[in-house]
Amino acid sequence: MSIASILLFSAIAAAPAGEQAAMADYNVIPLPRHIEVPGNDYFVLDGRTKIVRGEGVSEKDADFLSEYIRQSTGIECHVTGQARKNAIWLSVSASCGQNPDGYTVTVDKTGIHVSGNSSDGLFHGIQTIRKSLPVGEYDEVAFPYAEIMDEPRFRYRAMHLDVSRHFFDKDFVKKYIDLLALHNMNFFHWHLTDDQGWRIEIRKYPLLAEKSCRRDYTVIRRDYDRNDGTPYGEGCYFTQEDIREIVQYALDRHIRIIPEIDMPGHMLAALAAYPQFGCTGGPYKVWTRWGVSDQVLCAGKDETVQFAKDVLSEVADLFPCRYIHIGGDECPKTEWKECPDCQARIVSEGIQQGSAESVEDALQGWFMKEMTDFLKTKGKTVIGWDELLESGAAGDDMTVMSWRGTEGGIAAAEHRMDAIMVPHSYLYFDYYQTDDRSQEPFAAGGKVTVEKVFNYDPYDGIPEKDRKYIIGVQANLWTEFIAEPSHAEYMVIPRIDALSEVQWSPLESRQYADFLKRLRRQLNLYDMLGYNYARYVFE
């Protein structure tokens, strides 16, 4: 049945908050691939409805659904092992299809049947039921009989969060993960270190937490002649116990965390604690300004290479995800050109310029390959920014994150490398959202509207034969100018809704006017959950 027909069902019985009954609406974000509503019959969910946990279904997933129903409607549905009717049956069945993130929902006179191709797929189906619910206090909710078959367009679906420029604590990171789960995302890219702050405990190098987390002050916006005069970041880092807790929190919600330890550039905070790993020996200070620092790790010193491997070893042990992001972007070679250790490394390793822009760029390629080979011994796959392609380091054992445009992804696919599309002109959520900047909080510049995100197609410019290498899409939230959780939420929502449609829904089914109708309903859920969001799209 058409989306218009489904909307008709919603209009029939959608009751305002406080009334006894309301109708579920399958027009959720992201929109499922196939929805069929065969008639006017419906199943009524109420306080007598049970949630039945089938074989292979985790207790947590069943409890999540119970809590979602209570949270949205006030109806208590308890989890049980069996029921004959008036139930929501949860199951995992490979018969649903090949895509592990796929799921089906069948609503009939007996109840609601949600089956995932895997536990991940089941969780996405649970999210669809959750988002179908009306928000309010109800005694019962009517679900029209339906057949929903759904699977994502891309296997990698993520959001990024920078906690180094400004720190966001454990509670907010969990709330951010909840937001990703709501949108059927399966990866969280966590940017943990940079020139302006180091945010993860490394036990072999305790000064990284004790000293590298703190900067003397912060510049006021982009005015490098003014600063706030206030030390920032004392104690602002995640202990390894914090990391393990957050990793498990994410895994419970079927999200894998990709940590990013950016190197060999963007390492000034680390050098402030351990100056011996730089080319000059310092002194260094945690950076108080934004931009790109010339002070980077020394690729020529064996002890620096070992330091990087030691850090990545502890990171690999903390994060079970197969991916580790090691950056590789914005690494000036100013000091390397003058550094005797770096120049000696070039000679001793026989490093040639090759396809790199300079022999020093090739040295960075050597460094990145050292880290890649080391992480392979830990069972990890490296992700790096698209500068990897310029250093001569790129190989089919790495994944390229294309941020400076789409060209990096196109080039990676041509070389049969996996690529993730993150072009800043479409997917940097620290950019403004409208032309009227007087009505918006200060941002990094540029403009990325909800509509621009929604209309982005990651396959643009990619030949059909190479599209299998474009494994997914993410958006980035850099936080130079974002210091508060409410501001971060404002920058992400509702652009994350448009992003989730790009990640999940087939291109041919996406219509912006229809999306806006669904978005209006989604805002009720944000209000209930206490998220801050931008409202300009409806003004």
Nearest to 278 by CA among 331, 320, 229: 331
Q: Is residue 68 within 8 Å of residue 133, measured between CB atoms?
A: yes
Q: Which residues contact 180 (CB under 8 A, 6 or more apart)?
A: 158, 159, 188, 253, 255
- CA atoms within 13 Å, Cβ hemisphere of 474: 26
Q: Which residues pair with 113 in a beta bridge?
A: 89, 106
CA-CA distance, 387 to 362, in Å (whole number)?
11
Task: Please name the residue ranges forming H helices in 231-339.
Answer: 240-252, 268-273, 302-318, 334-338
Question: Tokens representing 358?
Answer: 């300079």
Say how many CA atoms lie within 13 Å of 427 toward its Cβ.
Answer: 28
Cα 270 from Cα 264, distance rounded (Å): 11
Tokens of 223: 């005015």
Largest CA distance in the chain: 79
Residues identified as active-site: 194, 266, 330
Burial readout 420-446 (b: 16 or more C-beta within 10 A, e: otherwise) = bbbbbebbbbbbbbeeeeeebeebbee
On the question of a cis peptide bond just before residue 259, with omega within 30 degrees of 0, the verdict is: no
